Amino acid sequence: MRRLEDKVTLVTGAARGIGEAIARAFAKEGAHVVLSDIRDKEGRAAAQSMGPNASYSHLDVRVELDWKRVMVQILLDHGRLDVLVNNAGVTGFEDGMRLHDPEHVSLEDWHAVHRTNLDGVFLGCRQAIRAMRDQGTGSIINISSRSGLVGIPAAAAYASSKAAVRNHSKTVALYCAEQGLAIRCNSIHPAAILTPMWEPMLGRGPEREANMRACVRDTPMQRFGTPEEVAALAVMLASDEAAYMTGTELNIDGGILAGSAATLSQEN
């Protein structure tokens, strides 16, 4: 039997990048997957490519009514929700590099990042708990970031929002356990994963390769991670193999948070 056989799953931000890879991995493991995004054309195409057990729904994670509509439809279609992956997120740099340091980030930009990255996760967790309560089981997986564990001077709003996602995941885990529910909530913290989010920083043409090398220079494994590698962790957390895991955080960062990979000769 496949690891997620017949589990009903919802993945936000699933039109591309990490979200798409997670949805695709879930489908391969036998899940019924609802992909959601605000990029409707890309989202529908992704769902169609995953076979008959995948579908697409428009969902702006910032909008409470969107969450209610999608959740009602899932319960009507499938009768339950087993897994929610809160993946949708923004850096704040999607429309070009703007000042996001603690001194210069605008209140408008600060709020825009938090509305998607934090408010979206809050709304998703709340709706998932309500949907999963009757069956008493489920898995909520929140995609945070390495930036949620350390300070990022040039991305104050992003780092703040992802740190809040990390902490809220623990709060949700404790609340569900306190309620006597086997609804687990865990966070994944990727770093240097090659997705469309990196495009504004990598550029195109001859400088792209040089920029890619520069971006992973301080990563001990000296390479970008892949969305599929993040998806593998999500499959594990969604499966019954992780039934005793809740309130935890999994880092997938090529060793960045482990420290320096300097050799003995370099240290001397």
Burial label for 15, CB within 10 Å (0-12, 13-18, 19+), is: buried
Is 12 part of a structural domain of the chain? yes
HSE toward the beta carbon, residue 230, CA cutoff 13 A? 31
Is 47 part of a structural domain of the chain? yes
Is 85 part of a structural domain of the chain? yes
Report the catalytic residues.
158
Of the listed ranges 12-26, 183-197, 235-249, the one predicted with least confidence: 183-197
pLDDT at 85 over 50: yes
The confidence score (pLDDT) of residue 259 equals: 86
Token couple for 70: 């999608």
Is 32 part of a structural domain of the chain? yes
* pLDDT average, residue stretch 186-190: 98
Burial label for 261, CB within 10 Å (0-12, 13-18, 19+), is: middle
pLDDT at 97 over 50: yes
Q: What is the mean pLDDT of the chain?
A: 92
pLDDT at 267 over 60: no
Q: How far apart, in whole angstroms, are the C-alpha atoms of residue 146 and residue 158?
A: 11
The confidence score (pLDDT) of residue 218 equals: 78
Q: Which amino acid is at 259?
A: G
- Report percent pLDDT > 90 for the chain: 79
Is 131 part of a structural domain of the chain? yes
CATH code for the domain of 44? 3.40.50.720
Is 221 part of a structural domain of the chain? no
The confidence score (pLDDT) of residue 94 equals: 73
Is 151 part of a structural domain of the chain? yes
Q: How confident is the model at residue 34 (pLDDT cuts 50, 70, 90)?
A: very high
Burial label for 226, CB within 10 Å (0-12, 13-18, 19+), is: middle
Can you give the pTM of this predicted structure?
Answer: 0.93
3-state class (DSSP) for residue 190: strand
pLDDT at 264 over 60: no
Domain count, the chain: 1
Structural domain containing residue 26: 8-194+226-255
Is 36 part of a structural domain of the chain? yes
Q: How far apart, in whole angstroms, are the C-alpha atoms of residue 239 and residue 235?
A: 6
Q: How confident is the model at residue 268 (pLDDT cuts 50, 70, 90)?
A: very low
Q: How far apart, in whole angstroms, are the C-alpha atoms of residue 259 and residue 216?
A: 14
Q: How far apart, in whole angstroms, are the C-alpha atoms of residue 19 and residue 24?
A: 9
The confidence score (pLDDT) of residue 253 equals: 93
